Amino acid sequence: MLSRDEYLKLPLKERFIKLSKNEDDRAVGLHKKLIVIDLHTHIALPEEYDRQRVRNSGLTCIFEAVGGVTEVFDESTRELGSIFRFFQTQPDMRLGFCAEDVRKAKKDGKQLVMAQFEPQTIGLKLDRIDTLYGLGVRMMMLTFNSRNYVGDGCGERTDSGLSYFGLDVVDRMNKVGMMIDLSHCGDKTTLDTIEASKDPVLFNHTGARALHPKCKRLKTDEAMKALAEKGGLMGISAVPNQLSNERTQGIQDMLNHIDYAVKLIGIDHVAIGLDNIFGDQVAHHRAAATTVFFLSRIGQELNADYLEGIESPEEWPNITRGLVSRGYSDQEIEKIIGGNALRIMEQVIG
């Protein structure tokens, strides 16, 4: 296996799944024609940002995560303003706040940026949800890996589920039209929220725990089925060492999780939320493994240095190629790479 540095020296096309001429034409055509949505991105990192690489992704809509792992409201809202301003200075990019903005961006040949908070930063002040909505936030994660006032994260010693305040948060998010993300929530907090929410909810960047049982960041079959029964959506991630524990990992691992989710909960409930970056994500995780991330507590071991074939958002077209290689129809691919995400946006935020 190539080192990450050696891999990144390869031309982009050489990192892609090999297809026949007909399959290649089909994959390229689909990725260009269809609306492509990533439900969880970390693209606005100025030291690593490259406009051309973002263009190469072919993304129509980018859901940029704001807040890092801080839960300080003032810091997070300042970051939101900085990120919005950053994207406003980028050519052929625009900000978005509803599903129709996605359709317009596709028609106009632009890339759209929408904001989500990771994690929530409201403390015990419910009206901050209204403030965040007014500032442009359209999705919010309820917990990170640890416990907060809302509920328990996936890295906690115990999981008591949603608090009374958490129930109020869910109700308020439903009322203002803000999507709820449960990607880092503990199992009971996840199930409680699915039951409590009047709107469908999301696991916007995760995978199936059945394929990597040690990783508590991934979702159980029970949670996946409950999500689908309420009309929710599961975004499959591309975080190194999250989908597999092998020393060599890549696009095939991601496709395995997509296949598993489609088989278990149906094609209408599967999407993509990469949660990867343009920099060295594994190095970042190693540096933070014993601080806010507490990777050992969520069962994530840092065995691989990168994901071959989906190392960064630039390689997004390889997902479409992978779905072609796995035998998905054009209609099924349309749903997974953007159609399902657009549908839940229309349902929840309008």
How does pLDDT run across 331-340, given as a tens digit for each residue?
A: 999 999 999 9
- What per-residue confidence (pLDDT) applies to 68? 62
161-185 residue pLDDT tens: 999 999 999 999 999 999 999 999 9
Share of the chain above pLDDT 70, in %: 98
Rounded distance between C-alpha atoms, residue 111 and residue 92, angstroms: 6
The closest alpha carbon to 273, from 62, 123, 78, 57, belongs to 62
pTM listed for this prediction: 0.97
Q: What is residue 69's predicted lDDT score, i.e. its pLDDT?
A: 58
- 3 state SS of 272: strand
Bridge pairing between strands 137-141 and 270-272: unpaired
Q: CB of 65 within 8 A of CB of 85?
A: no
Question: Please, are residues 17 and 309 in contact by the beta-carbon 8 Å criterion?
Answer: yes
Average pLDDT, the chain: 95
Task: Specify whether the CB–CB gap between 311 and 327 falls below 8 A.
Answer: no
Contact 319, 310 (CB under 8 A): yes
- Closest C-alpha among 163, 164, 156, 226 to residue 184: 156
Q: Which of 41-45, 292-296, 318-322 has the highest mean pLDDT?
A: 318-322
Q: How far is CA 179 from its chain centroid?
A: 13
CATH of domain 20-348: 3.20.20.140
pLDDT of residue 196: 98
pLDDT digits (tens, 9 = 90+) for 74-95: 989 999 999 999 999 999 999 9
pLDDT score of 332 = 98
* pLDDT tens digits, 266-282: 999 999 999 999 999 99
In this predicted model, what pLDDT tens digit does every residue of 105-162 receive, in sequence order? Answer: 999 999 999 999 998 889 999 999 999 999 999 999 999 999 999 999 999 999 999 9
- Per-residue pLDDT of 218-230, as tens digits, reads 999 999 999 999 9
Domain chopping of the chain, boundaries: 20-348
71 token code pair: 């839960």
Q: In angstroms, what CA-CA distances link 6 with 47, 140, 182?
A: 21, 37, 36
Residue 344 pLDDT: 98
> If you average pLDDT over residues 195-213, what whole number do you get?
98
